[in-house]
Structure formats: structure tokens, C-alpha cells
Chain A
């Protein structure tokens, strides 16, 4: 059996810990906010506000945990690809595929447990620090806040279960490892689930089309009549975006190819372009978390900016009516943007980890390139180009989607302010700058370790028979 290797699972534990601490913090902060609202309740509406707050918090927690699960499933799939020969050997001496897969899932359960408990500790700590700093700073009464609540168990348990499930899904490839692969260097076999993939893509396309139609309908409604159009708008947006995420295996490869073509015609750039679509499903899963994060951030920022430009239009007519609206909208967008951006952080961990695993597993191939005359610099360019391609493709798709959803949200809620016509989506240059800098940093981070390791691969590595 495979021993539990902390180095192999470090990234997955980090992802689980990030998801769990994010969830615990949000639950505890929401609890504290509810207490404050209840204390100041003069209208008797605090209960419904609490419900809305909790609902929003759990939606964000669910998104972060979902992104974490996608990242973990991908990491496990990559780890399994690297273990093919060991698994094949165990199969050769009589281990069943199902027992092998269960063993991998057990590792996933351990990863989930360690990460979730670490996250619980961090979450409690972060919340305590936030309370200690924010309450006096904002001049709020120091109430008997809970440092931990029973509801904090919800994200913790959810992270354990989703990590376990993710490892089980990621271990699917175990089933197609043939004992023969222990005997010779065999090519990676395609997973025989083409029909399942087709089914999923059909569902994805349906969700996307229906969701987008509902969303556009909501925009039309919002522009002409009523702010209530935001409700069908939200439903349409969720359906439409779920379609994109489910169909990432179809959406991302063309985006990756497009970015690959932008990288130039140098040999390392062109080989990198081909490497990143070598396993389209794997690349799609690597990038989809980042797409989700960037989409959320962009959506909130663009919605804010578009809403502000709608308010401006309306204010020209009625200057006294919109006192203070700007700062409320700005505050909400910044908070939601940051909370949504956390998914991007989790996704970034996955991307960095995926790059290093993929270099580890390509030692012989890199050795071959070195033997054939690839210089150290060209190897480094290859790795940097691969990582740039993943990052840039995810960021571009996220920006496009986020701009659309943000604009649609603003129009469906406040479109009537412009007096019957839609406005263009407002994309603040600062957003583009922040996202571009973040993408650059992520590219550097994701390629630093792997390119150092890749350039150390000796050309002789290609000649080794194992």
C-alpha cells in the first residue's frame, strides 16, 4: 500500500485548511454581526437581516469549498497519474482496483481531517483577532461574543466530506491502471468515460443557455420596469455560471489555445502551448477554480461601477435622492469582492501545486529535451510559458464572464434609473491592473519552484530505462 506522504499531500491539506478557516471565520463573524444587529434593533427586522446574512455567508462558503474540492480532485488525479507503475505493480501481485481506490480515498479522508481541524483553529483565531481590533475601532459595544459556535462545525464537516469525496473522484483513474503497465513503459490510457463527458457537456450547455436567457430577460425587465428583476437575474446567473463551470472541459481548451498563440512562435512557447492542452480535462480543472474566483471579484466590482454610473445618470435628475448611496454600494462591492476573491486564493494554491507535480512527472521528457539540445534557458522559458498560459487564460475568461454577470446584475436591479436604456458595463481600470498584477505574481509563483527543478534535470535522465 502507499504510505501517507505529507509532501505529496501538503497542498491538499493547505487547500482544506484554507476552505475550513474561511468557512469558520465567516460563520463566526456573521454570528457576531447578528448579535450587534439584535442589540441595535429598533425596527424589529433584525431577524430577517440575520437570515439574509447567514444565507450570503453560506453561499460564499459553499463556493470556496466547491473550488477547494475541484482543486483537490485534480491534485489527486495528478498524484495517481504519477503512481501508475506502483499501482500496476500492486495490481500485478493481486490487489483489486477497488481496494486501491479505497486506499487513495482513505488518504483523502486523512487530508480532509487534518486540514479541516487546522482550519477550525485558524478560523477561531482570526475571528477573535477581528473582534478584538474591529469592535473598539468602530466604537461598537463589546458584547458577549461567541469565540466558537456549534454552527462552526458546518464548514469543518463539509470540508472533511468534500475532501474525501474529491479524493475518491480524483482516484477514478486507478480503475483503468492495468497490471501490464508494471511490466513496461506504457502510454497513459484515456479514461473510458466519453459518454459521461458528453452527458455532462449537454447538461452544461443547457444550463448555460437557459440561465443566460433568464438573465437577459431579467436585464430587459430591470431596464424597463422593476428592481425585483434582480431575483430572476440571480437565478439565471447561477444557472448560467454553473453551466460554464460544468463545461470547463469545453470552454477552457480553446481559451488556453488562444493564449498559447499569443505567447509567440519561439520553440519553448509553442511547446508550452501544446503541453497545456495535452490533458484538456486536467488543464480545465486546474484553471476552473481561478476562473470562478476572478469571475466573482470582477462581477462585484463591475456591478458596483455600473450601478454607480446608473446612479449618476439618475442623480442628474434628482440630486437629493441618492445621498450616501455611493459609499454603501462601494462598501458592499469591496467586501463581497474580497470574500469572493478568496476562492481565487484556493485555486491559486491548486495551480501552483499542479505545475510542480506536472514537472516532477515529466522528468524523462525534460531530460530528452535537454539531451536533444534544449538549453537551460529554454527549459525555464517552457515552464514559465506553461504557467503563464494557465493563469492568463483563466483570468481572461474570468474577466469576461464577471463583466457580463456584473453588468447584468446592475442592470436588472437598477436599470430603470437610466430611464429606459441600458448602459455599457463599467470596468474600472484599477480592477484590470490589480488582476493583471495578481496574474503576473501567480505565474511567477507557479513557475519558480518547478522551473528550478526542471532546469536541474540532467540530460542523462532521458536515457534511464525506468
Chain B
């Protein structure tokens, strides 16, 4: 288990995390006493069938939702117990998001969306940050789309804008929630390659929730969840290996 490695190498970790809904006999544990860590600078995929708790886990780790019990850290900051204002600042400065759909603010153009986290902070990017954003725009091929509104972009282009926005503040960790769920397979592969490249080239830590074996095969490490528990983990694997492992999990369930 990764929790045995030194905490400093982990960009995020959770300990004995439980999230339940309902009470008494109606009680459902979306997360059942789960403990795990994500390595800094790595691209980690979190896999599991529907209802395995992978989305809930991501929500708690990103400060979007609060657990019933247990603790969660982002780098050295314990985020369980932070109030709403502190969580808001954490999301603004230290976390990036790429969602399945509806990623962008429809009234803002591409550049406006990319710079939104800085806007929210009430500041302009520094020269250094601006150079970084220009490099992202360049490498994501968005240079000639900067004045386009989201509805003028294809799904794949929108997702690339979301990636640029997520990477722009150089957050501790980028969360991607089924980032290819709404894309055709070609745009999907492109987005996955870009995420993988962000991790290898820039050392960006990324956590991706997915139920797609092909998507998970782009990750350095794959964590498998079922019934709110961590059931297994693998290093980089082929889609076939991941797929057959998932099938095995389904059968034994």
C-alpha cells in the first residue's frame, strides 16, 4: 500500500475515510473506511464500477464534499475540517478540475475561461505565470481559438480549454472526472495523451476518475474501488489487463 511510503511523496492522501448516506437499516456507505495516497507528479486513475464510490472519493479529496468520518490531506494541509471559505480558496489556488461536461463558463471566451482562476483571486497572472499559460495554450493548440466562446468549439477543444484552465495555476493536484465521457474516441485519446504529457513533461499530479479501461491505461498507476473500498492497485497496464481485472471484480461481486 502506498500509505507506507513517506507522506512527503504523496500529493494527497486519505485515512479511514467513510461517507454514509441515510441512517439505521437504510444506511449506505459510499466510502467504507478507505485509506490511500496519491503520488506527487504522477497520473493516477481511480477505477471502479458505478456505485463503487470513486466519484464520492474524488469529491472529498477535492474539498467539494465532506466525509462522515476520517481525514483527508492535500499535500501538508488537512482539508477535512476546513470551513467553506478555506475550501473555496483551496479549490481556487491549489486544485484544478476537468469535468465530463459543462466545463466552461458559457459567457467567457477561451482566454477568459483559462484565466478565470486568477480572476477569482482578483489578480493578474505574473510574467512567469503568463509565460506558462502561453506555453500551455501553445502545446494544447488553442492559439487560434482564444476569442471563441465555448459553443463555437468542439467537445475536444472545450476539454482542452478546461485542461489549460486546470493546469494554469500549477495546482498541487488536477482532478479529472470522466474527462473523455462525452467525447468521440479520437478526441478522447487526444485529451488523455495531453493529461499524460502534463504529468510526464511538467510533473503535474493528476487524479482521474473513470470506468473506461482505455482511459485508465494512460495512467502511471490504477487504483480499483468496489463498494467504497480500495480493492487493488496496479502500475501502468494495458486496456486489456485493466478490462479483464474489472471483469473479474464484477464476477466476484
Contacts and interface: CB of A to CB of B under 8 A. Distances in A.
B35 to A, nearest CB: 23
A462 interface: yes
B105 A368 contact: yes
Nearest to A271: B107
Interface residues of A, number: 27
B107 A278 contact: yes
B103 interface: yes
Contacts of A94: none
A465 B101 contact: yes
Interface string A239-266: 0000000000000000000000000001
Interface string A437-466: 000000000000000000000111011010
A368 B107 CA distance: 13
B64 to A, nearest CB: 5
Greatest chain A CB density within 10 A among B84, B88, B101, B117 is at B88
Contacts of A460: 59, 64-65
Contacts of B36: none
Given A271-B105, A376-B88, A463-B99, A371 B120 contact: no
Nearest to B65: A460
Contacts of B218: none
B120 A267 contact: yes
Nearest to A278: B107
A364 interface: yes
Contacts, number: 74
A103 interface: no
A173 interface: no
A122 B16 CA distance: 63
Interface stretch (B23-31, B90-98, B227-235): B90-98
A368 B64 contact: no
A370 B87 CA distance: 10
Interface string B112-147: 000011011110000000000000000000000000
Contacts of A267: 119-120, 122
Contacts of A275: 107
B249 interface: no
B21 interface: no
Contact of A373 (B65, B121, B181): B121
Contacts of B85: 375-376
B106 A372 contact: no
A164 B100 CA distance: 41
Contacts of B119: 267
Nearest to A369: B105
A376 B105 contact: no
A87 to B, nearest CB: 20
A372 B84 contact: no
Contacts of B101: 185, 465
Contacts of A373: 88-89, 91-93, 117, 120-121
A365 B106 CA distance: 9
A184 interface: yes
A368 B102 contact: yes
Nearest to B100: A465
Greatest chain A CB density within 10 A among B92, B100, B107 is at B107
Query: Closest 9 CB pairs between A and B?
Result: A373-B92, A274-B107, A267-B119, A375-B88, A373-B120, A373-B91, A459-B64, A187-B151, A460-B64
Interface of A: 184-185, 187, 266-267, 271, 274-275, 278, 364-365, 368-376, 378, 458-460, 462-463, 465
Given A373-B88, A375-B85, A460-B59, 18 more contacts: A185-B182, A271-B107, A274-B107, A278-B107, A365-B106, A368-B99, A368-B105, A372-B91, A372-B92, A372-B97, A372-B116, A372-B120, A372-B165, A373-B92, A375-B89, A376-B84, A378-B120, A465-B181
9 contacts: A278-B107, A364-B102, A370-B88, A371-B91, A372-B92, A372-B116, A373-B121, A459-B64, A460-B64
